[in-house]
Structure 1
Amino acid sequence: MLVVNRFRVPAAEGADFRDGLELARATLAERPGYRSGQIGRNLDDPELWVLTTTWEHVGAYRRALSSYEVKLHAVPLLSRALDEPSAYEPVEPGTDLNTAGARSLG
């Protein structure tokens, strides 16, 4: 599972934001199911930042967000993300894609 969080950050806040983003990524990396993560800044618009992380599955990501350490060191920064969907499924040749619909069995 791939998570893409984009942020719009004023240039004057860039250095502090980068430090916070690195702490958030490091904190997430300590959680079970984390596979990798990257921080990026847009080449054409340096106020646009991105944090991408990959996870074993959506449950691992959701459990990571509920951990105390992540709530303390990552969630405050993640709450600054642009308001847009952030969870993506990998699309590999020959795999079935997720379908929209209710997630409960009841």
Structure 2
Amino acid sequence: MLAIIRYSVPDARTGEFAEQAREILDLLASQPGYVRGRLGRSVDEPGLWALVCEWEGAGFYRRALSAARLVMYPLMTMMLNEPSAFEDVDPPVSPKLGSR
């Protein structure tokens, strides 16, 4: 399953946010069921950031959020209030060998 948590980050807090988001990713990576994760920033709206993770299932993700609650707390004022858990409906698509 895919987890996407989006944040609206003021310019003045960009450095602080990126550092704390990396701490969150490190903590999440230590949780059972974690597959991979990354931090992204919108190309069109630099104040919009996304913490994106893949999990073996929604239960793993929900338990990991509980474990990361204290580390995530300082960034909650910037978190967009929207659903964050998405189930896979199709298998992942990989690039074909030899394609450009």
For the criterion TM > 0.5, the same-fold answer is yes
TM superposition score category, shorter chain reference: 0.7 to 0.9
Q: Distance in 2 between matches of 1:27 and 1:11?
A: 25
Deviation string, structure 1 residues 10-47 (Cα, Å, up to 9, x no partner)? 01110110000000011000000000101000111110
Q: How many residues align?
A: 91
Q: What secondary structure is seen at the aligned counterpart in 1 of 2:45?
A: coil
Tell me the percent identity.
44
Unpaired runs of 5+ in structure 2?
92-100
1:84 corresponds in structure 2 to 82
1:40 corresponds in structure 2 to 40
Unpaired runs of 5+ in structure 1?
94-106
CA RMSD of aligned residues (A): 1.5
Whether 1:16 and 2:4 are equivalent positions in the alignment is: no
Q: What's the TM-score once normalised by structure 1's chain length?
A: 0.78
Runs of 4+ in 1 over 2 A off after TM superposition: 74-80
Larger helix share, 1 or 2: 2
